[in-house]
């Protein structure tokens, strides 16, 4: 009896020590996601956030009167749209998959190629995007907003120092302010803060392999990605294992630099379980298959079924809960007519 108890406590002690060591190792690469993503250029205020959320859902400033930010980034699907490639005004197909808007404000840039510097820049430029809102001009958008009852007072409240607050720059600042609140901490954050039991043993095994296999070389930081650019297909071409119909040269088409060919922003893995399909062209629908492909083309290793299952379990621990504000859709001001 005593030997059995001693063996149990010995096993427990060894397991606990291993967990403590794993936590120590994890802290070298990761940190908890912040509650908000602040900006020196765009102070977050309650009035801005309130207006920004409404504008995020506002379709009447698009050329077809039916397109809003929420069309490509519905919160019911964790801020992505579930399509291979996003659909903008009048059903126009965008060139790439719509990444989730959740935690996006904490990344180094927006879009797969990083051609939008931040969420405010993205919100403003989307208005004239042919595959998004499709508005003919910023003036056209401003006139549309001025004709919708209720926005004048909301813009004035959010930007009290502006003589003419209803403008596209403030539109972008308001949406940006709201998006900077879209943080989704998960059980993994509790683990990083010292709650070792926040992850199951299988998830801990997956975390250990995620680090040891080399995934962490790109997927690190608070968002497990979103903080650097990397070539997609370091060891082998990405299209060899995906259902990619077209070869996308990534940042090269922006910079024209040979070293930028096939470079994309490393996506954040926060909520990755909920944001299928995967990769810039949405060419893979299964997360487990995406894990295997990444092993082949990025690390040059053939992950075993056990490896994939355990890494998959760890990635599921990155799914955060949507708060009540994220889950509710605002009532928009009535049109003038």
Give pLDDT tens digits along the chain (337 positions). Answer: 555 555 444 444 556 889 999 999 999 999 999 999 999 999 999 999 999 999 999 999 999 999 999 999 999 999 999 999 999 999 999 999 999 999 999 999 999 999 999 999 999 999 999 999 999 999 999 999 999 989 999 999 999 999 999 999 999 999 999 999 999 999 999 999 999 999 999 999 999 999 999 999 999 999 999 999 999 999 999 999 998 989 999 999 999 999 999 999 999 999 999 999 999 999 999 999 999 999 999 999 999 999 999 999 999 999 999 999 999 999 999 987 5
Burial of 268 from C-beta contacts in 10 A (0-12 / 13-18 / 19+): buried
146 & 191 share domain: no
Task: Identify whether the C-beta of residue 159 lies closer than 8 Å to the C-beta of residue 153.
Answer: no
pTM over 0.85: yes
Q: What is the count of structural domains for the chain?
A: 2
209 & 138 share domain: no
216 & 269 share domain: yes
* Burial profile 120-154: b = 16 or more Cβ within 10 angstroms, e = fewer: bbbbbbbbbbebbbbbeeeeebbebbeebeebeeb
The full 3-state SS of 137-194, as one line of letters, equals CHHHHHHHHHCECCHHHHHHHHCCCCCCCCCHHHHHHHHHHHHCCCCCCCHHHHHHCC
Distance of CA 264 to the CA centre of its chain: 14
66 & 160 share domain: yes
295 & 222 share domain: yes
Task: Identify whether the C-beta of residue 180 lies closer than 8 Å to the C-beta of residue 43.
Answer: no
Q: Is 302 domain-assigned? A: yes
Q: 10 Å Cβ neighbour count for 53?
A: 24
176 & 206 share domain: no
Specify the CATH number for the domain of residue 294.
Answer: 1.10.760.10
Expressed as residue numbers, the domain containing 289 is 24-33+185-316
Task: Identify whether the C-beta of residue 149 lies closer than 8 Å to the C-beta of residue 335.
Answer: yes
């Amino acid at each position: 009896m005593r030997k059995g108890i001693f063996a149990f406590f010995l096993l427990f002690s060894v397991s606990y020590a291993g967990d403590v060591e794993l936590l120590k190792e994890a802290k070298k690469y990761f940190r908890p996601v912040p509650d908000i993503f602040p900006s020196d250029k765009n102070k977050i205020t309650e009035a801005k956030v309130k207006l920004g959320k409404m504008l995020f859902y506002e379709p009447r400033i698009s050329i077809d009167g039916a397109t809003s930010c929420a069309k490509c980034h519905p919160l019911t699907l964790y801020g992505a749209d579930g399509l291979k490639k996003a659909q903008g005004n009048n059903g126009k197909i965008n060139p790439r998959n719509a990444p989730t808007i959740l935690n996006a404000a904490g990344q180094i840039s927006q879009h797969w190629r990083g051609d939008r510097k931040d969420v405010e820049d993205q919100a403003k430029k989307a208005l004239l995007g042919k595959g998004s809102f499709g508005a003919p001009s910023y003036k056209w958008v401003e006139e549309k907003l001025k004709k919708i009852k209720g926005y004048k007072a909301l813009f004035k409240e959010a930007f009290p120092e502006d003589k003419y607050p209803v403008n596209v720059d403030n539109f972008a600042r308001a949406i940006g302010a709201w998006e900077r609140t879209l943080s989704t901490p998960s059980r993994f954050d509790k683990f990083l803060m010292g709650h070792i039991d926040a992850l199951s043993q299988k998830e801990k095994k997956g975390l250990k392999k995620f680090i040891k296999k080399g995934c962490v070389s790109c997927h690190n930081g608070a968002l497990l990605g979103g903080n650097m650019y990397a070539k997609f297909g370091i060891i082998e071409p990405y299209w060899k294992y995906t259902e990619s119909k077209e070869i996308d040269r990534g940042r090269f088409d922006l910079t024209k630099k040979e070293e930028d060919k096939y470079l994309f922003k490393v996506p954040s893995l926060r909520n990755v379980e909920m944001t299928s399909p995967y990769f810039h062209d949405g060419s893979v629908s299964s997360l487990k298959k995406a894990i295997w492909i990444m092993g082949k083309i990025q690390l040059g290793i053939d992950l075993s079924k056990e490896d994939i299952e355990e890494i998959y379990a760890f990635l599921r621990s990155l799914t955060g809960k949507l708060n009540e504000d994220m889950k509710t859709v605002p009532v928009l001001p009535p049109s003038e007519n």
